[in-house]
Structure 1
Amino acid sequence: MKLPFKTLDDVEYEGKRVLIRVDINCSLDPETKKIINDSRIRAMTPTLEELKKSKVVLMAHQGRPGSDDFISLEQHTRILRDLGFNASFVDDIFGKAAKDAISKLKIGEILVLQNVRMFEGEMKKASVDEVAQEPIVQELYSLFDLFVNDAFGAAHRSQASIVGFTKYLPSVAGRVMEKEVRTLTEILSTEYHPWILVLGGSKVPDKVKIIKRLLEIGRADNVLLGGLIGNLFLIAAEKISSQYGAPIKEFEDILPLAKELLSQYSDVIMLPIDAAVDQDGARIECSLENIGGRPFYDIGPKTAEKFAKIIRNAKVAFANGPMGFFEKDEFKHGTVEVLKAISDCDCITVVGGGHVSAMAEQMSLVDTITHISTGGGATMGFMTGEKLPLVEALEVAAKRME
């Protein structure tokens, strides 16, 4: 298939100073803050291998301000070194320390800048022209010959480090970005049904909108919900107390939409029918009626069995987000059972998002799943036919380069 943007095959990069934006947002141990899965780092190593005769500056994020996984990229740099790359870290993004380190960079070296989200302006979402005026772009773009974007996982965000540099620099997709677009386009060209969407985890406001779009275009035959997104719909259905909405961002704003979707698609949206709660550190399985205000950390065994049966009868199954607090061993059962069913399914299967992808790898299921996507929200956006901001920006850059 012909891609709408340029790739590394279309440019000369040997000896050049290359700025690469990647998505190496890794799962962390919630207590130690240590990286527990480096699959996203390893996924983009083919791009770095191709750039070994260039001077490479790597830009990425980890978590977001205020989140438990918002940390420096020092650990990520050490993992790159362990993988055989000549990588160093600078605790700066676009100040004097970063510029000095960039100027001294030699061919074959990789300089990792500090977490770009430690710059407040990175969180701004706006047009390419607007975010290109942010200091992170204005202070850095003139130091480079080429911009390579391999951050498919962040392709749905029109932010400075994602799209801003495309206004000024020759810009191409890296190998991860290229592979994701090719593979997902091929998967979407199929018209197989039943098409099952399994959603869990957080980032609830984004996921509610994705559910709405997928249902409106008739793509999903069933939507199976767990995690915080499942809790939102259980509250909307008056199955659990609204106190479980406390951790959900924009809860009051999105609750009416959840109620509306339930009323319109009650035969499509499948909710948990039982629960696993935390009681003094132990997993207790119970009915929804008997949760009693205890932390709701996983779907229950009856739900897991019901969801697994639906998945095994699918022709296309797409999963994003865990069914519960899977970082705690006692509460990973729902996610494990869903992934086993996806692995067993004789159908097209896609697993997206860092957490579920990490679990699939830990369970040695990678070879049994059609595609492990590095994207979460980006993959879901692509599934709806949404034009991702990064793809759009690379298309415009490609036309300018011709």
Structure 2
Amino acid sequence: MTTQFKTLDDADVTGKRVLVRVDLNVPMQDGKVTDKTRIERVLPTIREITEKGGRVILLAHFGRPKGKPNPQMSLEPLAPVLSDLLGQPVGFSDDCVGPVAAGIVAALKDGNVVLLENTRFHAGEEANEEEFVSQLASLGDVYVNDAFSAAHRAHASTEGLARHLPSYAGRTMQAELEALEKGLGDPERPVVAIVGGAKVSTKIDLLKNLVARVDALVIGGGMANTFLAAEGVKVGKSLCEHDLAETAKAITAAAEEAGCEIVLPSDAVVAREFKAGAASETVPVGEVPDDAMILDAGPRTVEAVNAWLDKAKTLVWNGPLGAFEIKPFDMATMAAAHHAAELTRAGKLVSVAGGGDTVAALNTAGVADAFTYVSTAGGAFLEWMEGKALPGVEVLKA
């Protein structure tokens, strides 16, 4: 996978206008950025191009303005943040195409950086309209895509531009694709996948793809309750999609056929109410009281998960094992995260994790830095795990 597209190593950017697609869709409150992770991830690509004498023109979206300008979703407040982090001035154009943008780009000198206004202020962005793509393309000589998190969308700035200009993967995109290749593309076996979260319904494609590709599939969170119920286990008042019993059985049967072991909770932490510090007890899964709900996996389950991690060479993780946002129901997720981090640090495990809740859980556990790779891409990471082709990646392979 990683050899099929060009990277910055192959690009000549000196004196060139380089259109760089980045992901600046960061959380904001009262006009201030509350989490700079996504911005920090794209700095190496921007720095490398400016140091080589390229003129950087940043393209990004923010929110869902539905093809019309919306001052609430302007990228303007991000220019000073970028400038601070880069340690150099970052200009801003209040449109991403047209005479204003063209004038600002024409005035750039080698090593300069400018941020163009939200690409989604034009309907042509999400529609991937040829005319809009041409207008964007006219502003650059080279295209670099550094926004893996937007690669599952075939938009003008993520897919269209790559068909008009010499195209390359930026360093973040490259790191992401190389990590994913190690995770599921051509992994070292045995491979263990941990999939958690509330609902099976949102991850059916994911589970079907994984059982054919991994040696063990650990199912946690509310999803596990649906699988347990499908096996006839009583789950009390737990979150459970009883209507998906047949789907759960089909996935279990497919796993058996593929030689993939499904690891479900053998014990559970249950409580009568879902709140911090609620009175809880640990019971075997067959003994969940009718008036209680399962909120976390128990210690025996964690032992089984950790035993699989000890055997594994590769781990792919998406979704927590319990209601980790609320103590004490974070125990299983934290324990597995610490164990995976230890094995990774010792060089025994390649660990790739992604998805919003997973990233939050690993940050809470303080082990995100110990994992081989933590993807900040939500939808794109999930679609990749489902085995789907991502338009923004496919077009870079040409």
In the alignment, structure 1 segments of 5+ residues that lack a partner are: 125-130, 397-402
Q: Which amino acid aligns with 1:133?
A: E
Residue in 2 aligned with 1:46? 44
Residue in 1 aligned with 2:115? 112
| Equivalent of 1:282 in 255, 276, 281 | 276
Maintained 8 Å contact 1:132/1:167: no
Residue in 2 aligned with 1:299? 296
Residue in 1 aligned with 2:69? none
Q: Distance in 1 between matches of 2:334 and 2:270?
A: 14
Q: Distance in 2 between matches of 1:167 and 1:364?
A: 41
1:221-300 matches, within 5 Å, as 221-227=215-221, 229-230=223-224, 233=227, 244=239, 257-265=247-255, 268-272=261-265, 273-274=267-268, 279=273, 281-284=275-278, 285=280, 289-290=288-289, 299-300=296-297
- Shift of residue 91 of structure 1? 5.7
Q: Distance in 2 between matches of 1:322 and 1:46?
A: 30
CA gap 1:141/1:347 in 2 versus in 1, 3 angstroms: same
- Shift of residue 148 of structure 1? 0.4
The answer to whether residue 5 in structure 2 is matched with residue 5 in structure 1 is yes
In the alignment, structure 2 segments of 5+ residues that lack a partner are: 67-71
- Shift of residue 149 of structure 1? 0.5
Aligned length: 374
Maintained 8 Å contact 2:237/2:292: no
| Equivalent of 2:143 in 147, 162, 165 | 147
Residue in 2 aligned with 1:311? 309
| Equivalent of 2:335 in 337, 349, 352 | 337
Q: Distance in 2 between matches of 1:301 and 1:108?
A: 55
CA gap 1:39/1:330 in 2 versus in 1, 3 angstroms: farther
Structure of greater Rg = 2
Residue in 2 aligned with 1:127? none
Q: Distance in 1 between matches of 2:273 and 2:37?
A: 33
CA gap 1:189/1:372 in 2 versus in 1, 3 angstroms: same
- Shift of residue 304 of structure 1? 4.6
| Secondary structure, aligned partner of 1:51 | helix
- Shift of residue 222 of structure 1? 1.9
- Shift of residue 19 of structure 1? 1.4
- Shift of residue 17 of structure 1? 2.0
- Shift of residue 45 of structure 1? 1.5
- Shift of residue 165 of structure 1? 0.8
- Shift of residue 41 of structure 1? 2.4
State the TM-score, normalized to the length of structure 1.
Answer: 0.72
Cα RMSD (Å) of the superposition?
Answer: 4.3
Q: Distance in 2 between matches of 1:63 and 1:86?
A: 25
Residue in 2 aligned with 1:20? 20
For residues 50-106 of structure 1, give each alpha carbon's deviation from its aligned partner in whole angstroms, at most 9, with x where no partner exists: 12133322223456689xxx9664565454233124335556554776556545545
For residues 144-166 of structure 1, give each alpha carbon's deviation from its aligned partner in whole angstroms, at most 9, with x where no partner exists: 21110112233333333211111
| Equivalent of 1:389 in 373, 388, 391 | 391
| Equivalent of 2:373 in 371, 374, 377 | 371
Q: Which amino acid aligns with 2:195?
A: L
Sequence identity (%): 35
Compare 158-167 and 258-267 and name the one that shifted more.
258-267
| Secondary structure, aligned partner of 1:180 | helix
The answer to whether residue 211 in structure 2 is matched with residue 215 in structure 1 is yes
CA gap 1:316/1:57 in 2 versus in 1, 3 angstroms: same
